[in-house]
Each structure stands twice: as structure tokens, then as C-alpha cells.
């Protein structure tokens, strides 16, 4: 489809990880549906995933080489999913700054760019966009809840107060929210945070504040209080355009990595009338072998049917486990189409690390969550899921601390509660309501549909 000369031309630059790239590819589809011209910047190793996801569309993909010979980084790694450890995250994110000259060459060669939407992590792209007079929007893959809570925590220096990591902290603007210092990862959870990670976050928030706007993968009906807080108190304006995962139906036919084995297994479970718990902890989580063994026992003892995606290589399960549970449980080790699994009629619960995409996808599929946050802002997402929007329950740790070890008994108890208990019923009802609201938000005439149109109109008027 040839675009008219005045069609908006939107350039997208996702950060190099699955969780940051997938929602941007959904956004690309939404923009294409509105007859925009879409160009996506990527690095060569991430190109195949992007082109497979956007097969049969008119999106253009432009490769920008990833810097080589960065001391701390293994060569050839162009995605945080492939880093041997997340301790290399900051060197990786800082290495992306070397892409700047190539980004600028590419921007120079493109004509009539309406705006650049780049990941919040790619703060250096603001300078390049500004050089060419292009408005930059920063995309963020988290909730307003987490964004606003983090702002409150920073402004009020809440983490410097408590004596212990589990002391209750009240958030001034949202006094019903009770946090713990333990809800924050290193290096944020100390009295005087400093170091390269803090510098990276500071650079990011300064660049975001100077950008044209923020793109948020959420919807108004889910967290309007927090959206209002942001847009009344903070800069720049945030545009709420999600859930982006509803931009397209999960379609197994289009996914080259689709594996029919588990789809058939889910069909069989549906025919048997056995509700299935989907178990997955995202693309980044690092789980100790001891904790992994405990998960296996908890799932086995819960007696519920489960589909468990074990992503990290080296995550060995005890001998005989898979054989013993095979009538009831299946372990999958490859990349799956998570939305297709969540959308399968027999899937009635999601044991999740609460990555924001997973939370959105679960809500859209009307599947309640059993929250087990691991890292990054997942602890805040888990609080939101369980305490604020009440679409999930939380696993029990053995010492009651949010970062405690989860013993099989605590897991089994909460799995059964989610799948069969009264509390499970409550959160199932709530997630159904939000799932419905999510669908309406994205439909023609819905809140997110309007917001995206307004954004495009406003950007077009600037040209
Ligand atoms: N995902 C998937 N298949 C997999 C693992 C992950 O489709 O085998 C997708 C999942 O649907 C989600 C994204 O990858 O869209 C993971 O993002 P999330 O924010 O949930 O977690 P992260 O991986 O960033 O921790
Ligand atoms: N809430 C609010 N202002 C307050 C306290 C609560 O807007 O000062 C909202 C909050 O968003 C929460 C909801 O009310 O989602 C319910 O709060 P809470 O969990 O304290 O009450 P409960 O669910 O036990 O009735």
C-alpha cells in the first residue's frame, strides 16, 4: 500500500529485549492500520524476530550495527535475553550509545519523519531526534502505578527511612499503598543510591522529561487514578494506548516458532474438562536450582494440570519429574506463543513473574494471576495486581518477606486457592471485568483508540 505524501511517517526504535520489542511491534501494527508509514530500527541479530513478527505488513526495517568489542560484554550478544547475567544490563544499555552515529545517518536518509518513538532506555536518541527537528516520544513498558510509585518514592526519599527491608512504607500521594524497601531491586534499595545503574536511570529520566511525550502500554479503565496523577503532576504528557497486545489476534499460523505439541495437549485438557495452570517467568528471570526443584514439587503436589515454560538453559528438573507428571503436566523448553496459550479456553490461571507484558496479556485473556515477582519493577506490578486491581493472588514465601524463598507447601496452597478456592473466584471475576474493559478500550471509539488518534493528529499538525 503506497502512503499518501501527508501520511504520518513514524519511526520506532525498540530496546533490545523481547519484553521491550514485542509491544512496539504491536504498536507498529496499530499505526499501519491507521495508514501510517512505519520504519523500525533494529540491530542485525534482532532483525529476524522483528521481520517474522511483522511478516505480511509494509513496515520497513533498518539495521543499525550493534557496537563490537565492548570490554565487559560477550561478543555477538545484541539482546538482554541473551546476556549470561543481568548484572551486565547497564554495560549493555550504555553500549547502545555507540549506535548514535548510525542512527543519525539513517534519520538523515529518511524523509518526512513525523516522530521517533524510542524506548525509554534509549535516552541518547533524544539528542539525535532533536538534531533533525523530529519530536521524540519515549516508550515505557510498565504500569502508571509503578511509574507514579517510583516517582513518589524518589521525590520523598522513602527508602532512606526504614530500619529494615520489610518495614511498611506509606506512599504520600497514595496512602492506601503500603510498600517495603524489599519491593525495590539493587541499587535502588539503599539509603544513598549511587553508581552506574543510578546514573543510567537519571540520564533516562532527564531525557524522558525533555521528550515530546511518553507512550504507555496500559488503558484508562485500569488505572485512571495513576494516569491522572501523572498527567497533572509530571512531565511530559503520557499517552495511554494499550493494551498493545490486542492490536492483533494471537495467530498460530503466523508464528514460525509455534509448536503444535503443547497446543494439542491443551486441546486434550479441554476435552477432559481439566483446567490448566500456565507457568512462566518471562524471558529474563534467573531462578536458583533449589527454587526450581521446589516449584516442581509444588506443582506436582497441587494436583492441578499445568503447562510450565522453562526458558533458561541449565534449568534442570529432577530426574523422573516429567515422566511422573506427564498425565497432568507438560514442560516446554522452547519459545511459545504466550498469548495463544493464555487465550486457550482451558487455561484458568497464570503463575507469573508479573512482567508488565505478561500482566497485560493475562488481563486481556481474562486469566487470573498467581504473582511471583522476581526482579526489576515486577514487585510493584505484583502489588498492583494483587492489592490495587485485585486480579490475582500471591505465592506465600516461607518467611513472609516479599523476597523470601517459596517452599513447595506455600506454592501448592496458593495454586489450589487460585484454581479452586473462594479467593480465586473473586480475582477471576475481577479479571473478567478488566478484560472486557481492555477490549473496549482498544476497539474503534474506545479510550486507547481515541488517544492514539489524538496523538497522530497532534503530531501531524506540528509538521
Ligand atoms: N513470551 C512469549 N513466549 C515465551 C516467553 C515470552 O511469547 O516463550 C512473550 C510474552 O508473551 C511477553 C514477553 O515475551 O509478551 C515477555 O514480556 P514480560 O514483560 O512479561 O516479561 P520479561 O520477559 O520482559 O521479563
Ligand atoms: N483507594 C483510594 N483512596 C484511598 C484508599 C483506597 O482511591 O485513600 C482505592 C484504591 O485504589 C484501591 C481501592 O480504593 O484500589 C480499595 O482500597 P483498599 O484495598 O484499601 O480497600 P478494600 O479493597 O479492602 O475495600
pLDDT tens string 17-72 = 999 999 999 999 999 999 999 999 999 999 999 999 999 899 999 999 999 989 89
- Considering only CA atoms, which of 119, 141, 148 is closest in space to residue 223? 148
pLDDT of residue 5: 58
**pLDDT score recorded for residue 253:** 43
Among 309-313, 335-339, 414-418, whose mean pLDDT is lowest? 309-313
Backbone angles phi, psi at 317, to 5 degrees: -95, 160
Say if CB 392 and CB 428 are below 8 A apart. no
Q: Tell me, what's the pLDDT at 314?
A: 63
For the entire predicted model, the pTM comes to 0.92
Residues 220 and 288 in one domain: no
Q: Determine the average pLDDT of the residues in 260-268.
A: 88
- Do 130 and 227 sit in the same domain of this protein? yes
Interacting residues of 286 by C-beta distance below 8 A, sequence separation 6+: 85, 86, 312, 374, 375
pLDDT recorded at residue 313: 64
Whether residues 180 and 203 fall in one domain: yes
Q: Is the CB of 356 under 6 A from ligand 1?
A: yes
Instruction: Note the ligand closest to the C-alpha atom of 171.
Output: 2
Report which ligand 2 atom has the smallest distance to the Cα of 387: 19
Tens of pLDDT, residues 223-232 = 999 999 999 9
Element (H, E) at 62: strand 60-63
> 435 with 446, same domain?
no
What's the rounded Cα separation, in Å, for the pair 69 and 60?
28
CATH number at residue 273: 3.40.50.2000
Contact 357 CB / ligand 1 (< 6 Å)? yes
Cα separation of 222 and 439, whole Å? 12
How far, in Å, CA of 171 to CA of 290, rounded?
Answer: 35
Ligand 2 geometric centre to CA of 386 (Å): 12
Virtual torsion, Cα 315, 320, 321, 324, nearest 10 deg = 160
Please report the DSSP string for 259-317 in residue order.
Answer: -HHHHHHHHHHHHHT--EEEEE-TTT----HHHHHHHHHHHHHH--EEEEE--STT-PP
Alpha carbon of 172 to ligand 1 centroid (Å): 33
The answer to whether position 40 is within a domain reads: yes
Instruction: Evaluate if residue 3 carries a pLDDT over 60.
Output: no
Q: Is 28 helix (H, G, I), strand (E, B) or coil?
A: helix
Q: CA–CA separation, 204 vs 139, rounded Å?
A: 11
Question: CA dihedral in degrees (314, 349, 30, 251; nearest 10)?
Answer: 70
- Residue 4, pLDDT > 70, answer no
Tens-place pLDDT, residues 82-126: 998 889 999 999 999 999 999 999 999 998 999 999 999 999 999
Cα 360 off chain centre by = 8
Length, in residues, of the chain = 463
Task: Provide CB contacts within 8 A for 433, sequence distance 6+.
Answer: none
40, β-bridge pairs: 12, 61
Instruction: Please give the pLDDT value at position 254.
Output: 40
Mean pLDDT lowest among 190-204, 251-265, 353-367: 251-265
Positive/negative CA dihedral, 221, 222, 225, 226 = negative
What is residue 111's predicted lDDT score, i.e. its pLDDT?
83
Cα distances (angstroms) measured from residue 35 to each of 3, 173, 197, 325, 462: 7, 41, 39, 50, 18
Rounded to 5°, the CA angle 235-15-53 comes to 120
Give the residue whose CA is nearest to atom 14 of ligand 1.
19
Question: What average pLDDT does the segment 358-374 reach?
Answer: 98
**Which residue shows C-alpha cell 542485525?**
44
Q: Is the CB of 335 under 6 A from ligand 1?
A: yes
Based on the domain organization, do 203 and 161 belong to the same domain?
A: yes
| Same domain (yes/no): 271, 261 | yes
Residue 2, in any domain of the structure: no
Question: How far is residue 230's CA from residue 54's CA, in Å, rounded to a whole number?
Answer: 32
* 226 and 187 assigned to the same domain: yes
Same domain, 304 and 236: no
Any domain includes 232: yes
Does 4 reside within a domain? no
Q: ipTM score here?
A: 0.84
Residue at 53 is within a domain: yes
Cα distance between residue 49 and residue 70, in whole Å: 24
Using an 8 Å Cβ cutoff, are 279 and 308 in contact? yes
Residue 279 sits in the same domain as residue 161: no
Determine the residue of 149, 170, 175, 176 to mutate for testing ligand 2's pocket, defined as the one with the most ligand atoms within 8 A of the Cβ atom. Answer: 176
pLDDT over threshold 80, residue 257: no
Ligand 1 near 23 CB (within 6 A): no
Which ligand 1 atom minimizes the distance to the CA of 283?
23
- 410-417 mean pLDDT: 98
Share of the chain above pLDDT 70, in %: 95
Sign, Cα dihedral of 317, 340, 275, 427: positive
Please check whether residues 432 and 447 belong to one and the same domain. no
Neighbours of 62 (CB within 10 A): 17
Whether residue 165 lies inside any domain: the answer is yes
Domain count, the chain: 2
Distance CA 159, CA 150 (A): 11
Contact 408, 266 (CB under 8 A): no
Range of the domain at 316: 257-439
**pLDDT tens per residue across span 212-250:** 999 999 999 999 999 999 999 999 999 999 999 999 876
pLDDT > 70? residue 398: yes
Share the mean pLDDT of the chain. 93
Asked whether residue 3 is assigned to any structural domain, the reply reads no
**Mean pLDDT (whole number) for 11-18:** 97
One domain for residues 282 and 226: no
Claim to verify: residue 304 and residue 445 sit in the same structural domain: no
Distance of alpha carbon 211 from the chain centroid = 22
Query: Which residue's CA is minimally distant from atom 6 of ligand 2?
Result: 176
Residue % of the chain over a pLDDT of 90: 82
Yes or no: say if 275 and 349 are a contact pair by the CB < 8 Å rule: yes
Q: Quote the crossing angle between the two packed helices 18-33 and 356-364, to the nearest 10°.
A: 50
Amino acid at each position: 500500500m503506497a502512503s499518501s505524501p501527508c501520511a504520518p511517517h513514524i519511526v520506532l526504535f525498540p530496546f533490545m529485549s523481547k519484553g521491550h520489542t514485542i509491544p512496539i511491534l504491536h504498536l507498529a501494527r496499530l499505526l499501519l492500520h491507521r495508514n501510517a508509514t512505519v520504519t523500525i530500527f533494529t540491530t542485525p541479530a534482532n532483525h529476524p524476530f522483528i521481520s517474522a513478527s511483522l511478516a505480511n505488513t509494509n513496515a520497513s526495517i533498518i539495521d543499525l550495527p550493534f557496537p563490537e568489542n565492548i570490554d565487559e560484554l560477550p561478543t555477538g550478544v545484541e539482546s538482554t535475553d541473551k546476556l549470561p547475567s543481568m548484572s551486565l544490563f547497564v554495560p549493555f544499555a550504555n553500549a547502545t550509545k555507540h549506535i548514535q552515529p548510525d542512527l543519525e545517518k539513517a534519520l538523515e536518509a529518511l524523509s518526512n519523519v513525523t516522530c521517533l518513538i524510542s524506548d525509554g532506555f534509549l535516552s541518547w536518541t533524544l539528542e539525535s531526534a532533536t538534531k533533525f527537528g523530529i519530536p521524540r516520544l519515549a516508550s515505557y513498558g510498565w504500569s502508571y502505578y509503578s511509574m507514579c510509585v517510583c516517582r513518589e518514592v524518589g521525590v520523598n526519599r522513602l527508602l532512606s527511612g526504614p530500619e529494615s527491608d520489610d518495614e511498611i512504607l506509606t506512599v504520600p500521594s497514595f496512602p492506601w499503598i503500603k510498600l517495603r524497601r524489599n519491593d525495590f531491586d539493587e541499587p535502588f534499595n539503599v539509603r544513598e543510591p549511587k553508581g552506574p545503574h543510578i546514573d543510567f536511570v537519571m540520564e533516562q529520566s532527564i531525557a524522558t522529561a525533555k521528550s515530546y511525550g511518553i507512550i504507555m502500554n496500559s488503558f484508562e479503565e485500569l488505572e485512571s487514578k495513576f494516569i491522572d496523577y501523572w498527567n497533572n503532576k509530571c512531565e511530559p504528557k503520557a499517552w495511554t494506548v494499550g493494551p498493545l497486545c490486542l492490536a492483533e489476534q494471537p495467530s498460530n499460523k503466523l508464528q514460525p516458532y509455534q509448536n503444535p505439541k503443547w497446543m494439542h495437549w491443551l486441546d486434550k485438557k479441554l476435552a477432559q474438562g481439566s483446567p490448566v495452570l500456565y507457568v512462566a517467568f518471562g524471558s529474563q528471570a534467573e531462578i536458583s536450582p533449589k527454587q526450581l526443584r521446589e516449584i516442581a514439587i509444588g506443582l506436582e503436589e497441587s494436583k492441578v494440570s499445568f503447562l510450565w515454560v522453562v526458558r533458561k538453559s541449565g534449568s534442570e528438573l529432577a530426574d523422573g519429574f516429567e515422566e511422573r507428571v506427564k498425565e497432568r503436566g507438560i514442560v516446554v523448553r522452547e519459545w511459545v506463543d504466550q498469548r495463544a496459550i493464555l487465550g486457550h479456553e482451558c487455561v484458568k490461571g497464570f503463575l507469573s513473574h508479573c512482567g508488565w507484558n505478561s500482566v497485560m496479556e493475562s488481563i486481556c485473556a481474562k486469566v487470573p494471576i498467581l504473582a511471583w515477582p522476581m526482579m526489576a519493577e515486577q514487585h510493584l506490578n505484583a502489588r498492583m495486581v494483587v492489592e490495587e486491581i485485585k486480579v490475582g493472588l500471591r505465592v506465600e514465601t516461607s518467611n513472609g518477606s516479599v523476597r523470601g524463598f517459596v517452599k513447595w507447601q506455600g506454592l501448592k496452597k496458593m495454586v489450589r486457592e487460585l484454581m479452586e478456592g473462594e479467593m480465586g473466584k473473586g480475582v477471576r471475576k475481577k479479571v473478567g471485568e478488566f478484560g472486557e474493559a481492555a477490549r473496549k478500550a482498544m476497539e474503534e471509539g474506545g479510550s486507547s483508540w481515541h488517544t492514539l488518534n489524538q496523538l497522530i493528529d497532534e503530531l501531524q499538525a506540528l509538521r
